[in-house]
């Protein structure tokens, strides 16, 4: 028991020393002293646990004296093991007792942190950056009826004042005044190995972690249609579709196997390499128009490019490994500058402030990027973007103007196509009605002919009867004539 306690205290001493080293020289002593207080409190807690263990052991010894069954006595001895393993787990980085050491550092920032919901459930965190109701958050997670839940319990509807696709930041506006503002410190730049804490709506940090590397560029995903390509025969221009990936943009746009792509947005794609280079110049989410030759007829199809990491079947295993233990952010790459740390964030906990041991807001958490990685935008990136977002020149309708214009053009083309289709439909309907009227007329004529034919058949039948009767009369007359001529001869000659 003593060896275990000394070992644990030694580990906490190392943590306290680390915290003290990474605190700035001019910083308040709140956090290091908090660590010291925690060590003392933890020691007292361990001593109390030891006393409780001793009491329980005494009680168990008494019980053992009364027990005659050795098997039951052995079982009661084994009950001590789980309690010791449980106590050792409190020294992990995620232990609530350890996380609470950072509470003094985040105390001034907690009131400036809000929960962002879609009206029903949490989708992100937000950082209050203006006392009149300005909140910074993660743009790509915004959906539904965007609402901010303040530290005082108020739930206020939010409007989007600006978005920045490059950083995935969004500026919200809520109807509130005199709010506590998080001061983002441009000079606070945590070094590799420094401790950082993610602030939430409670007094205790949501998570803590260590900065893994200096701020760096995070590459973006490749834009993909979701097709397998093949060059045509020598001398022919275009690229043939050999296979369409299931649930891909290409499948949703009704691109078919054996379609031949000849151009993208008007740029010719004579071979596979040119087509791949052309697509690589776009980003996931961009909309393109593809010129396709299908059964010797040229058509145009528009589609929205997808994320290669999600479409490429070869990435499935890697994505599954990255998702182990957490839900990754939908936008988790393609940042010009981001700080990587190992705090176990959830996707819905991005958008809030990241704080160092001195209580400085050093950045905004922007993505859960991997199984053990989270990303934050450093303060030197956040501050200039925040000023741009405040100008009103980055409203969604302004930022997305090019995409909106493209969609409007497509809608206009569809309206024109609908009108042409309606005109063709009216023309075809008129032609159909004319043909139908002619068909009815011919059917009536046919009916009349059939009726006349029946009459003719009846007349023919009557004529046949009359003819038969006449034939019978003629035959009878002939016989009468022959008899009379025989009688005349006999009478004239006297010979029969």
Q: How many CB atoms lie within 10 A of CB 240?
A: 19
Crossing angle (nearest 10°) for helices 80-89 and 2-22: 10
d(CA 365, CA 214): 15
Contact by Cβ (8 Å): 144, 120: yes
Superfamily of domain 223-313: PDZ domain (2.30.42.10)
Q: What is the dihedral of CA 445, 447, 453, 457, to 10 degrees?
A: -170
pLDDT value of position 65: 53
Q: Which residues face 291 on adjacent strands?
A: 263, 300
pLDDT value of position 55: 58
Contact by Cβ (8 Å): 212, 340: yes
Chunked into runs of 10 residues, the chain (496 residues) has average pLDDT values of 42 49 39 42 50 57 52 44 41 73 92 96 97 96 96 95 96 96 91 94 92 91 92 93 93 95 95 94 91 93 88 59 68 93 93 95 95 93 96 94 88 87 88 91 91 88 87 88 83 78
pLDDT value of position 418: 87
pLDDT value of position 148: 97
d(CA 289, CA 174): 39
Tokens for 144? 């539904």
Which string of b and e fits 11-43 if b means at least 16 CB within 10 Å? ebeebbebbeebbeeebeebbbebbbebbeebe
Q: Reduced to 3 states, what is the DSSP secondary structure of residue 54?
A: helix
Q: What is the value of pTM for the model shown?
A: 0.67
pLDDT value of position 66: 52
Helices (H) and strands (E) in the chain, counts: 13, 20
pLDDT value of position 36: 43
pLDDT value of position 90: 55
Same fold, 106-219+334-399 and 223-313: no
* Ranges of each domain in the chain: 2-91, 106-219+334-399, 223-313
Contact by Cβ (8 Å): 260, 238: yes
Crossing angle (nearest 10°) for helices 2-22 and 30-66: 170
What CATH number was assigned to the domain covering residues 106-219+334-399?
A: 2.40.10.120
Which string of b and e fits 182-211 if b means at least 16 CB within 10 Å? bebbeebbbeeebbbbbbbbeebbbbbbbb
- Residue 284 φ/ψ, nearest 5 degrees: -55, 135
pLDDT value of position 319: 56
């Amino acid at each position: 028991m003593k060896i275990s306690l000394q070992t644990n205290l030694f580990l906490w001493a190392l943590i306290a020393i680390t915290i003290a080293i990474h605190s700035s020289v001019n910083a308040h002593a709140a956090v290091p002293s908090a660590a010291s207080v925690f060590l003392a409190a933890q020691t007292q807690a361990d001593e109390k646990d030891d006393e409780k263990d001793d009491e329980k052991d005494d009680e168990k010894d008494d019980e053992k004296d009364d027990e005659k069954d050795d098997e039951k006595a052995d079982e009661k001895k084994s009950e001590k093991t789980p309690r010791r393993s449980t106590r050792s787990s409190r020294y992990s980085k995620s232990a609530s007792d350890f996380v609470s050491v950072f509470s003094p550092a985040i105390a001034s920032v907690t009131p400036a942190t809000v929960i962002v919901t879609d009206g029903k459930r949490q989708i992100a965190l937000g950082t209050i950056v203006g006392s009149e109701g300005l909140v910074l958050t993660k743009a790509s997670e915004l959906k539904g009826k965007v609402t901010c839940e303040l530290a005082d319990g108020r739930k206020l509807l939010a409007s989007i004042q600006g978005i920045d696709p490059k950083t995935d930041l969004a500026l919200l506006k809520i109807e509130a005044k005199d709010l506590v503002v998080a001061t983002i410190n441009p000079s606070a730049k945590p070094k590799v190995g420094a401790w950082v804490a993610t602030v939430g709506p409670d007094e205790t940090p949501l998570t803590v972690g260590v900065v893994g590397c200096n701020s760096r560029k995070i590459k973006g995903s490749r834009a993909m249609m979701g097709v397998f390509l093949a060059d045509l025969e020598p001398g022919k221009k275009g690229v043939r579709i050999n296979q369409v990936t299931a649930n891909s943009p290409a499948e949703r746009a009704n691109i078919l196997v054996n379609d031949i792509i000849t151009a993208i947005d008007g740029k010719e794609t004579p071979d596979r390499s040119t087509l791949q280079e052309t697509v690589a110049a776009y980003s996931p989410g961009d909309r393109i128009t593809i010129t396709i030759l299908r059964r010797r007829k040229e058509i145009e199809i528009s589609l929205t490019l997808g994320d290669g990491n999600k479409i490429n079947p070869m990435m499935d295993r890697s994505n599954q490994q990255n998702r182990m233990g957490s839900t990754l952010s939908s936008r988790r790459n393609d940042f010009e500058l981001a700080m990587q740390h190992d705090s176990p964030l959830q996707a819905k906990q991005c958008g809030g402030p990241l704080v160092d041991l001195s209580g400085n807001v050093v950045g905004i958490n922007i993505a859960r990027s991997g199984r053990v990685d989270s990303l934050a935008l450093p303060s030197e990136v956040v501050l200039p973007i925040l000023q741009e977002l405040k100008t009103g020149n980055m409203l969604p309708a302004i930022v997305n103007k090019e995409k909106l214009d493209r969609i409007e053009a497509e809608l206009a083309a569809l309206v024109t196509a609908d009108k042409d289709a309606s005109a063709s439909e009216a023309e075809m309907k008129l032609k159909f009605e004319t043909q139908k009227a002619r068909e009815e007329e011919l059917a009536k004529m046919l009916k009349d002919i059939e009726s006349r034919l029946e009459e003719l058949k009846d007349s023919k039948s009557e004529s046949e009867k009359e003819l038969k009767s006449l034939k019978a009369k003629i035959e009878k007359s002939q016989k009468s004539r022959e008899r009379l001529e025989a009688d005349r001869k006999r009478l004239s000659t006297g010979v029969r």
